[in-house]
Structure formats: structure tokens, C-alpha cells
Amino acid sequence: MYAKHNRPAKDSRPTGPLSKLTSLRPHWLPSTTAGWWAVGLEFWFVGFFGLMQLMVAIDVNAGTFFSNLWLAGTALAMAGSGIGGGLVALWALVRQRERSLLVVAAGVLGALVLMFIASELLLPH
């Protein structure tokens, strides 16, 4: 006598204005190629930093900074990978909506490297 109502099954996903925030959860590992590049470049930065500290500790320094090709090359590679990793991390965060914590850390480290180099160039000793 009474017609059954054909209602769809209740969806378990949250609804409302805050429902899209669940997609913004941070994860540890990157999910985009640009995110992996940013993390990889920052690992190279850490490796070059360690190599440069080792070279300074064993006293490879000879004269001015650019008179020693090994020390200058390591420092330039370190600066390039640090700034490059930060820029790629910024690209991954803004344009590709990457939300992993490693990419955020790579962006922060890249910004710190850029600020250090800018302060050395603008305010020399």
C-alpha cells in the first residue's frame, strides 16, 4: 500500500564546508615527481655540506676561497642544490598541491640557504 522510498545508502564521507580539508592532510612522503626532486636536491645539499665540512676539517684550504677548486666547487654545488631544492619545493607546494612534510621541510631549508647567501652578499664581513 505504501511505496518504499528508494534512498541511496548514506555516504560515510564527511559533508559540509570543512569536508575538503581532509584532502589537505600532510603525509611524510611526497606524492608528486616535483616533490621527490625537491627532497632529493635537499639530500644532495646535506651531502655536499658534509663533504665541505670534511674538507675544511682536514685543512684542504689553500689561499683564498676560489683558489681552491675542490672547495669552491663543493660550495657552489651545495648552494645550487640547496636553492634549487627550495625552488622546486615551492613549485610542488603551490602549483602541484603537494602536502608532504618532507617537501615542506625542503622548502624551509631552501629558504634558509637563500637567506644565508643573500645576507653574505648584502652584508659582507
H/E segment holding residue 112: helix 101-122
pLDDT digits (tens, 9 = 90+) for 49-63: 999 889 888 876 666
Question: What distance in Å separates the CA atoms of residue 93 and residue 68, rounded to the nearest whole number?
Answer: 37
Report field, pTM of the whole predicted structure over 0.85? no
Q: Judge whether 103 and 35 are in contact, CB under 8 Å.
A: yes
Q: Supply the mean pLDDT for the chain.
A: 83
pLDDT confidence tier of residue 79, bands split at 50, 70 and 90: very high
Domain ranges for the chain, please list them: 31-122
Residue 20: the pLDDT is: 56
pLDDT digits (tens, 9 = 90+) for 88-112: 999 999 999 888 999 999 999 999 9
- Bridge partners of residue 100, in order along the sequence: 27
Question: What distance in Å separates the CA atoms of residue 108 and residue 30, rounded to the nearest whole number?
Answer: 15
